[in-house]
Amino acid sequence: MGARSSQAVDPVVSRRYSSESEAVLVVRRRPHMVNGGGFVVSNSKQQVLFRVDGCGVLGTKGKLLLRNGDGDDLLLIRKMGGMVQALNMVHKKWEGFGYDNEGEQKLVFTLKDPKDSCLVQHGSIRILVHGKPKISSTRNIHNNNNYVEIKGSFSERACNIMNSDGRSIAQIRTQKEIEEMVGNKKDLYHVIVKANVDQAFIFGVIAILDYIHGESTIC
């Protein structure tokens, strides 16, 4: 039991959306012309676990909504704009809100995306997780290093999501057979989520990556 708990990762959205074993999930993009875009996440049994609606569905730019397979709202994600003229950079601050037991919104993570950042090309960026240490090993230590780091290229579907200890908690990948089947690796790809990691949070992060790259969640 002790070895298992030391490897656990505390949830951001809910422990309900973590698995005791590694999960290989499939993301399928929805076409804008049919249902407004966004994407659907399924498991190996083709059961829908999550749905992400973007501005093509919600009608508001810079707004994303993650729901579970039953249609319940899990994460509301909003983009906040700002200009830093001295650096000639546009900072897009993303905020993710979960819901408490009374259904009230609570801020659970923040991402700041400067123009031409690593989210567009290669490199790394950090997402701040609010509250007590969550994306880290389960040590009872309160610190300011509570973040997730994204490395690699989302556009190439070769991306790692790592916790603040440098441990991989999720990977975004395609396989050759998928590309041959659908002809476009952006339309169908795998996300490998490690054991005891909050899958809802991972797909909230992926929803932002999708929007920044002008893919299925953008108008």
In 3D space, the residue among 69, 2, 6, 19 whose CA is nearest the CA of residue 170 turns out to be: 19
Q: Dihedral sign, CA of 165, 169, 175, 179?
A: negative
Q: Can you give the CATH number for the domain in which 170 is found?
A: 2.40.160.200
Cβ atoms of 146 and 135 closer than 8 Å: yes
Cα distance between residue 214 and residue 16, in whole Å? 30
Number of domains composing the chain: 1
Average pLDDT, the chain: 76
The arithmetic mean of pLDDT across residues 106-124, rounded, is 58
Please write the tens of the pLDDT for every residue from 23-65: 999 999 988 877 789 999 999 899 999 999 998 899 888 899 9
Query: Is 30 a domain residue?
Result: yes
The arithmetic mean of pLDDT across residues 185-214, rounded, is 90
The arithmetic mean of pLDDT across residues 95-105, rounded, is 85
Query: Is 32 a domain residue?
Result: yes
Cα distance between residue 148 and residue 158, in whole Å? 17
Query: Is 115 a domain residue?
Result: yes
Query: Is 217 a domain residue?
Result: no
Query: Is 219 a domain residue?
Result: no
pLDDT at 83: 47
Strand partners, 110: 95, 128
